[in-house]
Amino acid sequence: MSQERVILVGVETEKNYLHFDSSMKELKSLTKTANGEVVFSLVQKRQQVDRQTVIGKGKVAELQQLAEAHEADLVIFNHELTPRQSQLIGDALEVPVIDRVQLILDIFAMRARSKEGKLQVELAQLDYLLPRLIGQGKNMSRLGGGIGTRGPGETKLETDRRHIRNRITIIKRELKEVAAHRDRTRQKRKDSQVFQMGLIGYTNAGKSTILNILTSADTYEQDQLFATLDPLTKRWRMPEGFEVTITDTVGFIQELPTQLIDAFHSTLEESQNMDFLLHVVDASSEERVQQEETVLKLMEELSLTQLPMLTVYNKADRIDADQFVPTLFPNVLISAKSTKGKERLTQAIKMELMQIMQPYHLVLQADEGNALNRLKRESLVLSNAFDEATQTYHIKGFALEDTYPLRRMAQEQE
């Protein structure tokens, strides 16, 4: 598949100057992920963006020349464009113009695997495109043929608004059914009292890699933004026998478009029902602190801050570990690519679980093999000694409130 030649456009203002460089860098990565080749970046400093064309008439003329000189197929703005801005710039350049939101939607369309993921992408695309149908005529001719045009939201757009509104209604109805099914699955996991862990973090921090090394799940694992779109839940048995589920979620990103927060709320909602979160951070990223802030801010919006959390600083192989200064606690520094990484992470998780669980001590009779197996599965067993004299097992471990080991201990003490 040949790459499209792309020009990026960004305006540094009083509002965004702190994060402007990292935002442009991220836009470049996003473009690469969408199979685009950045041939030029046009950057401008202004007090505020121009209301009509974002960059002003003079710069638009310059951009037109640049597009011709570089034979650009597409221009991507690092700002959300209003329908009017989009039309004015597109008419002046005579080259298709999209913005950061459309680019992200496009990548989501490439990545969606499950029925729910595809439906949510389509909903977000349709919501976004509906007010922008005027002036889309020229772009429609390239539909299905490049960045900003992928995914299911591209049929009949220029001619049929009613078709889009009807489709939105149908998708919302289907999503409700899918959400109800997901709720039932989630409730089943809760009822079975399985300990649930969630992976969260900035996009491309290595969440899927960590899921893979812990559970041997074969998830899509690439050095790309938004490699995972659909929440994926896998079972993991810890070395002590304790069985937990781990759910991978879509990566967070700064300035996540509001359409996406709405559309992907249910994928992130999964995390609200977790017992424990693993916040994966790319320790080698130059924007690490800012990425941490982005995730923590989104966690606040999603009411996740009350959940116990371990920060996993990943990609230790790319940094000088002795010089590394963590910002979030508790934490562990690992390289998910190394064998020691798995051991260190497992040990750190175990230490944290002991903080959030309650200790118990039970005595089982020699013929209670089933109860012993259940304890190993449903709690963190730390010691298991058999007393020859009394023919009993002495089990010490940690368990969550209102689970079998603690209920049994309470019965024995009555």
DSSP 251: P
- Does 206 carry a binding-site annotation? yes
- Does 316 carry a binding-site annotation? yes
Distant-in-sequence contacts of 302-308, Cβ < 8 A, 24+ apart: 302/265, 302/268, 302/269, 302/271, 302/272, 303/272, 304/200, 304/271, 304/272, 304/277, 307/271, 307/274, 307/275, 307/276, 307/277, 308/275, 308/276, 308/277, 308/352, 308/355, 308/356
- Does 249 carry a binding-site annotation? yes
Q: Distance of alpha carbon 162 from its chain centroid, rounded? A: 33
- Does 226 carry a binding-site annotation? yes
- Does 33 carry a binding-site annotation? no
- Does 386 carry a binding-site annotation? no
- Does 335 carry a binding-site annotation? yes
- Does 337 carry a binding-site annotation? yes
- Does 166 carry a binding-site annotation? no
- Does 201 carry a binding-site annotation? yes
- Does 336 carry a binding-site annotation? yes
- Written in H, E and C, the secondary structure of 53-112 is CECCHHHHHHHHHHHHHCCCCEEEECCCCCHHHHHHHHHHHCCCEEEHHHHHHHHHHHHC
DSSP string, 320-381: -GGG----SSSEEE--TTSHHHHHHHHHHHHHHHHHHSEEEEEEEETT-HHHHHHHHHHSEE
Q: Are 378 and 404 in contact (CB under 8 A)?
A: yes
- Does 34 carry a binding-site annotation? no
- Does 264 carry a binding-site annotation? no
Two structure tokens written together for 232: 């994926």
At position 263, the amino acid (one-letter code) is A
Bridge partners of 381, per DSSP, are 397
Nearest to 90 by CA among 70, 66, 64: 64
Q: What angle do CA 165, 170, 173 make, to 5 degrees?
A: 130
Two structure tokens written together for 167: 């489709």
At position 191, the amino acid (one-letter code) is D
Two structure tokens written together for 102: 């459309």
**Cβ neighbour number for residue 160 with a 10 Å cutoff:** 13
Indicate the helix (H) or strand (E) that contains 212: helix 207-215
Two structure tokens written together for 362: 């039970």
DSSP 271: G
- Does 73 carry a binding-site annotation? no
- Does 250 carry a binding-site annotation? yes
- Does 90 carry a binding-site annotation? no
Specify the pairing of strand 4-12 against strand 358-365.
unpaired
- Does 227 carry a binding-site annotation? yes
- Does 369 carry a binding-site annotation? no
- Does 276 carry a binding-site annotation? no
**Binding site for Mg(2+): which residues?**
208, 228
**Binding site: which residues?**
201-208, 226-230, 248-251, 314-317, 335-337
**Binding site for GTP: which residues?**
201-208, 226-230, 248-251, 314-317, 335-337
